[in-house]
Chains A and B, each alone.
Chain A
Amino acid sequence: METRIGRLVVSSSPHIKSSVTIETAMRDVLIALTPALIMAVYFFRFSALAVIVTCVTTAMVSEAVCQKVRGRPVTVKDGSAAITGLLLAFCLPPTIPVWIAAVGSASAIVLAKQFFGGLGHNVFNPALVGRAIILASWPAAATTFVLPLDGVTSATPLEIMKGAVQGSVPAAWSEAVAQLPSLGDMFIGNIGGSLGETSVLALLLGGIYLLYKGHIDWRIPGMFIGSVFLLTAAYGALTGKGIILYSLYHVFGGGLMLGAIFMATDWVTSPITKQGRILFGLGCGIFTVIIRLYGGYPEGVCYSILLMNCCTPLIDRLVKPRVYGRRKNA
Chain B
Amino acid sequence: MKKRTFVGGIHPPGNKVATVNKKIVAAEPPNNVFIPLIQHIGAPCHALVGVGDTVRVGQKIGDASAFVSAPVHASISGTVRSIVDIPGFGKCVEIENDGKNTLDPSIVHNPNPDSLTLDQLRQAVRNAGIVGMGGAAFPAHVKFNPLKDKPIEFLILNGSECEPYLTADHRVMLEYPDRILAGMKYIMKMLNCSKGYIGIEDNKMDAVEVMVELLLGTEEIQVVPLKAKYPQGSEKHLIYTCTGRVVPSGGLPMDVGVVVSNVSTAVAVADAVEKGMPLIERVVTVSGNGVKRPANYRVKIGTLISSLVEQSGGYNGRVGKIISGGPMMGRTLYSDKVPITKGTSGVLFLPNKEIANELPHSCVRCAKCVDACPMFLEPTTLYKNSDKEKWDTVERNNVLDCIECGSCSYVCPAKIPLTQYIRQAKEIVRSRQKSQAAKEAAAAKG
Q: Which residues of A contact B (CB under 8 A)?
A: 1-2, 5-18, 20-22, 24-25, 75, 118-121, 214-215, 217, 267-274, 316, 320-327, 330
Contact = CB atoms under 8 A, between A and B. Distances in A.
B323 A15 contact: yes
A262 to B, nearest CB: 15
- Among A7, A11, A214, chain B packs the most CB atoms within 10 A around the CB of A11
B409 A323 contact: no
A16 B334 contact: no
B444 interface: no
Given A323-B375, A325-B401, A13 B366 contact: no
Contacts of B357: 2
Given A8-B319, A15-B332, A273-B378, A20 B350 contact: no
Nearest to A266: B365
Interface string B392-403: 000001100100
B380 interface: yes
B417 interface: yes
A323 B377 contact: yes
Chain B binding site: helix, strand, loop or mixed by DSSP?
loop
Given A22-B414, A325-B236, 19 more contacts: A5-B335, A8-B322, A10-B334, A11-B332, A13-B327, A13-B419, A14-B327, A14-B407, A14-B419, A15-B330, A15-B355, A17-B410, A25-B413, A214-B368, A272-B365, A321-B377, A322-B376, A325-B250, A326-B249
14 contacts: A1-B417, A12-B419, A13-B327, A13-B329, A15-B321, A15-B332, A15-B350, A17-B410, A17-B412, A120-B363, A272-B378, A320-B378, A320-B397, A323-B376
Interface string B314-340: 000011111100011111111100000
B318 A7 contact: yes
B300 to A, nearest CB: 24
B410 to A, nearest CB: 5
Interface of B: 10, 12, 164, 236, 246-251, 318-323, 327-335, 348, 350, 355-358, 361-368, 370-371, 374-378, 380-381, 397-398, 401, 404, 406-407, 409-415, 417, 419-420, 423
B411 A20 contact: yes
Chain A binding site: helix, strand, loop or mixed by DSSP?
loop
A272 B335 contact: no
Contacts of A7: 318-320
B420 A22 contact: no
Given A7-B319, A321-B376, A20 B246 contact: no
Contact of A272 (B358, B367, B414, B417): B367
Contacts of A274: 371
List of 5 A-B pairs having minimum Cβ-Cβ separation, nearest first: A14-B406, A272-B367, A325-B249, A267-B366, A321-B376
